[in-house]
Every structure is written in C-alpha cells, then in structure tokens.
Amino acid sequence: MSDLLQVFLSGVEDMAKSMKIHAADIEKKTGSESELVEKVEALTARVEKLIGLLEEKLGTAIKVQPAKGKRMMDIKQRINEIIAQHPEGIRPPQLARIIGTKVQNLYPHLKAAVQNGTLLKDSSGSYLIGPAKEKTRPVKARKSK
C-alpha cells in the first residue's frame, strides 16, 4: 500500500474517532440533534474533501508509465549520452561508476557499439563518439527494358 494511501486512511480513522467523540460529547451536553447533525456534516465534508484530494493524487500516481529517470533508460542510450558528455573519451570503469552498474555489464554494449561504428575505442582503452554516419537511401536497381 502506498504511503499516501496509508496517511489518508489513518487520517480518516482519526476523523471517525473524532466524530464519535464529538457525538458522545454533544449527546451528553445538549442532547440536541441539530448540533450533532451540524458536526457530523462538517466532518463528512472534510472527509469528502480528503477523498477528492486522494483521488487526484492517486489518479496520477497509479498510472503506470515507464520511468523517465536516468537509471531506467536503456543502457545503450545511457552509455551514448555519457560518452557524448566526455568528448576526450571515457574509460569503462568510470563509465560504470557514472551509470551505476558493473564494468562487465558494459563491455558487450561497448563492443557492439564499436562494431556498429557509433563508438570508437582509442589505444588507451577510452571510448569516444564515432563519426556521424550519413543517412543514405538504398538505391533500387532499375529493370532493363
């Protein structure tokens, strides 16, 4: 159960207890139903307001969407983003620390990126962004007449 829901439910329980206490106090003091009804209506309005606020909060909190944080991004995107921030190159141990993973998890992605040409590996073992590839359309062969 979410923390917000627990806080809301504990607040509702407190309000229900307070309603019972107020009802008992009013019955002892005056016995008048009108005062009791007013107190109950006021507390009910507060509960309805809290429910409305909770529905607003939970309406946005319950929706399942992919997280947009850095840790939930695809590892290939994170690798490319970080290497792009280091034009002088970055070594795998430093890259792993920044991403928050083990170096062993990076090597397959780095190797594949070097083979694709999106990254370059220099003689010191640092990785750099590779040269930009020009997008070309495949040329279709014409049929001879």
Give 99-127 pLDDT, tens digit per residue.
888 889 889 999 999 998 889 999 999 99
Give the total residue count for the chain: 145
Task: Indicate whether 83 and 108 sit together in one domain.
Answer: yes
Q: Structure pTM?
A: 0.43
Assess if residue 12 is contained within a domain: yes
Q: 52-92 pLDDT, tens per residue? A: 777 777 765 434 344 455 554 588 888 888 999 988 999 99
Range of 29's domain? 3-62
Q: Are 96 and 102 in contact (CB under 8 A)?
A: yes
Of 62, 80, 102, the residue at which a domain comes to its end is 62
Q: For residues 33 and 140, what is the distance between their CA atoms, to the nearest angstrom? A: 89
Alpha helices in 2-143 (DSSP H): 3-29, 33-62, 75-85, 92-99, 103-116
Burial of 130 per CB tally in 10 Å (0-12, 13-18, 19+): middle
Q: How far out from the chain centre does Cα 129 lie?
A: 29
Clarify whether residues 58 and 20 are in a common domain: yes
Mean pLDDT, rounded, of the chain: 77
- Alpha carbons 55 and 67: distance in angstroms, whole number: 21
35 pLDDT higher than 70: yes
Task: Report pLDDT for 62.
Answer: 39
48 and 89 belong to one structural domain = no
Residue 54: the pLDDT is: 77
Helix 92-99 × helix 103-116 angle, to 10°: 110
One domain for residues 74 and 41: no
By the 10 Å C-beta count (0-12 exposed, 13-18 middle, 19+ buried), 83 is classed as buried
- Asked if the structure places residue 136 within a domain, the reply is no
Query: The tokens of 49 are what?
Result: 């307001």
In a domain, 9, yes or no: yes
Residues 106, 124 within the same domain: yes
The mean pLDDT of 133-139, rounded to a whole number, is: 57
Choice between 16 and 84, residue whose per-residue pLDDT is larger: 84
Output the pLDDT for position 4. Answer: 73
